[in-house]
Amino acid sequence: MAQEHAGIPAIADLTPAAEDKSVSGLVSSLTDLKRQKVQSDTNCPLSPTARQAKDKMQRDHAFAQEGVAAAEIPKPWDADKEHKRWK
């Protein structure tokens, strides 16, 4: 057993023993999961430029759908003229 310093156990005491198969299997499976996550985070399916181009295309399409034809734009509104009309 490693030495304790002021009541704090050594790191070596906290690791599972080699003969403890249930804990060592858990540790190795967690290590494998972490390795897979890091690999999937590192290997991005779309490059940033391809993703940006796709986002721009979607954004441009959305803006085009919001457009209004020139005939649909309302005429300028004159509040004074409208008030006189109703007096």
> What is the model's pLDDT at position 1?
46
User: pTM for this structure?
Assistant: 0.28
pLDDT at 58: 92
What single DSSP character describes residue 8? Answer: B
Distance from C-alpha of 13 to C-alpha of 19, rounded to nearest angstrom: 14
Per-residue pLDDT of the chain (87 residues; tens, 9 = 90+): 445 566 777 776 666 665 666 666 777 788 888 888 888 777 766 667 888 889 999 988 888 887 777 777 778 888 888 888 887
Residues in the chain: 87
pLDDT of residue 3: 53
